[in-house]
């Protein structure tokens, strides 16, 4: 990387600008914009909460586009929207060298699950229109309000489980990658 030289009598190299920016982002530089939250000793998850939320938000566009029927399930664009966010999550925890990427990405997955549930609930009317899902069999005689409550409740639970599983799988992949990188260095 390019190093800048001080003007004047001393010609000592200044710290690399990119390295200073990374140190600041990690909370070790003099101008840490997130303060104590980014100090690895104080942040149990290795990343500040706003970064965890931003990582989870990367997966939300697929939820919105799917619920609004903008993208079809078996398309390349849908596949990208499913795969790229967890890959970014993994890259971020590896770059920031978090102490336990499994736990960090499990939390990101849980946050994603909450956002997934929220998205599905907010877009329920647009996703189903005038034909919402109903229960069958012995439960078909329940009042429509009770059916909606049960179905929406299971939708929330399903979203939370999905987000948690995605986070756990990404965390396992990141943990494996982190261990491989440590062995090689």
- Parse the chain into domains and list their residue ranges: 1-33, 44-184
Span between the terminal Cα atoms of the chain, in Å? 21
Q: Provide the residue-wise pLDDT of the chain in tens; the chain has 185 residues.
A: 333 333 444 444 444 544 554 564 555 544 444 444 445 444 688 999 999 999 999 999 999 999 999 999 899 999 999 999 999 999 999 999 999 999 999 999 999 999 999 999 999 989 888 888 999 998 889 999 999 999 999 999 999 999 999 999 999 999 999 999 887 65
Residue 89 CA neighbour count, 13 Å, CB half: 35
Residue 126 CA neighbour count, 13 Å, CB half: 13
Q: Could you tell me if 105 and 139 are in contact, meaning their C-beta atoms sit under 8 angstroms apart?
A: no
The model carries a pTM of 0.75
Q: Could you tell me if 167 and 105 are in contact, meaning their C-beta atoms sit under 8 angstroms apart?
A: yes
Q: Could you tell me if 101 and 94 are in contact, meaning their C-beta atoms sit under 8 angstroms apart?
A: yes
């Amino acid at each position: 990387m390019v190093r800048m030289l001080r003007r004047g009598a001393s010609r000592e190299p200044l710290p690399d600008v990119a390295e200073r920016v990374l140190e600041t982002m990690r909370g070790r530089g003099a101008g840490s914009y997130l303060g104590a939250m980014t100090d690895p000793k104080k942040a149990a998850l290795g990343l500040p909460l706003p970064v965890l939320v931003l990582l989870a938000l990367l997966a939300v566009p697929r939820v919105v586009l799917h619920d609004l029927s903008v993208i079809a399930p078996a398309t390349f664009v849908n596949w990208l929207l499913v795969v790229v966010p967890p890959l970014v999550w993994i890259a971020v925890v590896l770059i920031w060298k978090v102490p336990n990427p499994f736990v960090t990405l499990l939390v990101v997955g849980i946050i994603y699950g909450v956002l997934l549930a929220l998205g599905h609930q907010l877009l329920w009317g647009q996703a189903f229109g005038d034909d919402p899902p109903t229960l069958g069999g012995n439960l078909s005689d329940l009042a429509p309000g009770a059916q909606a409550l049960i179905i929406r409740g299971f939708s929330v639970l399903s979203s939370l489980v999905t987000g948690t599983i995605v986070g756990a799988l990404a965390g396992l992949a990141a943990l494996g990658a982190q261990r491989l990188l440590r062995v090689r260095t």
